[in-house]
Amino acid sequence: MDHQILVAISHLACPPLDVFFKSLTFLGNGGLIWLMLTLGLLLYRRTRPTAWIVFVSLLAAALITTRGLKPLFMRVRPYLRYHFPIIIAAPGGTSFPSGHTASSFAAAWACFRLYHERHPRCCAALLMLAGAIAFSRLYLYVHYPSDVLAGALLGMAVAEACVRLANRRAFSRKKDSPAF
């Protein structure tokens, strides 16, 4: 099924989309766009706790993906297996799960969980950006759909754990503080 989906996506290829998806993938390299978001959040005292939650989510997802799961599964990238033409510098390493997707969804999901009630449009935009970065990995033939799905689920799970841990710590600090 992975192969059929990639073949279907290959029919979308055209120069404007090539440029668009190469740019999106670049934003996801090393979590670049999400690190910029984190730096922006660090500028304001009120959003610093969020910045740290986003950063820890991003870092944890990246480490679990690159240091834990990729070496474990050692899945060959689709452009190598199926000889798809590649329009970016050939990425090294293995395919499963997608690190770009895991990092993107970790950061976007952490923001969603913390701000969806106050800033629903902004959170929706971040999730759409994460989804677009994930799709760029398919368009560029560097991941299978199952790699991207696993990366998204992993990123969201890591972010959820980080948000819940942060909320638990904040609640216990409030509970332990003296009442006025």
The answer to which of 111-115, 141-145, 155-159, 166-170 has the lowest mean pLDDT is 166-170
Q: Check whether 20 has a pLDDT greater than 80.
A: yes
| Structure-token match 């299978």, residue found | 144
At 65, the amino acid letter reads: T
Tell me the whole-structure pTM to 2 decimals.
0.90
Domain positions in the chain are 14-173
Q: Check whether 180 has a pLDDT greater than 50.
A: no
For the structural domain made of 14-173, what CATH number should be given?
A: 1.10.606.20
At 49, the amino acid letter reads: P
Q: Check whether 179 has a pLDDT greater than 50.
A: no
Across 112-127, average pLDDT? 94
Residue 14 sits at φ, ψ, to 5 deg, of -160, 155
- Distance CA(115)–CA(111), nearest Å, equals 6
Q: How far is CA 61 from the centre of its chain?
A: 8
**What is the predicted pLDDT for the residue at 130?**
98
Residue 23, CA distances (Å) to 19, 55, 116, 129, 154 in order? 6, 22, 27, 12, 24
The pLDDT tens digits of the residues spanning 156-174 come to 999 999 999 998 876 555 5
**What is the predicted pLDDT for the residue at 169?**
72
Greater confidence (140 vs 171) lies with 140
Across 107-117, average pLDDT? 95
**What is the predicted pLDDT for the residue at 168?**
82
Mean pLDDT of the chain: 92
175 falls in which pLDDT band (50, 70, 90)? low
Q: Are 86 and 141 a contacting pair, CB within 8 Å? A: yes
Q: Classify the C-alpha dihedral 72-73-74-77 as positive or negative.
A: negative
What is the three-class DSSP state of 94? coil
The pLDDT tens digits of the residues spanning 52-99 come to 999 999 999 999 999 999 999 999 999 999 988 899 988 888 999 999
